[in-house]
Amino acid sequence: MISIRDVVQQALETGYLTIEAEDQLRQLLQKTKYGWEDVSAFMHLQKAAMAGIVRQQSREANPSNA
């Protein structure tokens, strides 16, 4: 099973968070138990997105969400 850390790592490596990856993160955060490493990775992804290091497909597809 894919982990939050896996999704985050892929987004950080590519600099891009797809809509599918965002959906995966939502599902993982709602339905799975996760540890500190996953929480830390998710917070790192949020900071990277706010800093413009990672672009979000959902924000590009719908600029009113930006």
Q: Which of 65, 44, 64 is nearest to 54 (CA)?
A: 44
The whole-angstrom distance between residue 22's C-alpha and the CA centroid of its chain comes to: 6
Taking 3-state DSSP, the helix, strand and coil percentages for the chain, each rounded to the nearest 5, stand at 75, 5, 20
Residue 65: is its pLDDT beyond 70? no
Which residue has better confidence, 64 or 42?
42
Position 20 scores a pLDDT of: 97
Q: What pTM does this model have?
A: 0.84
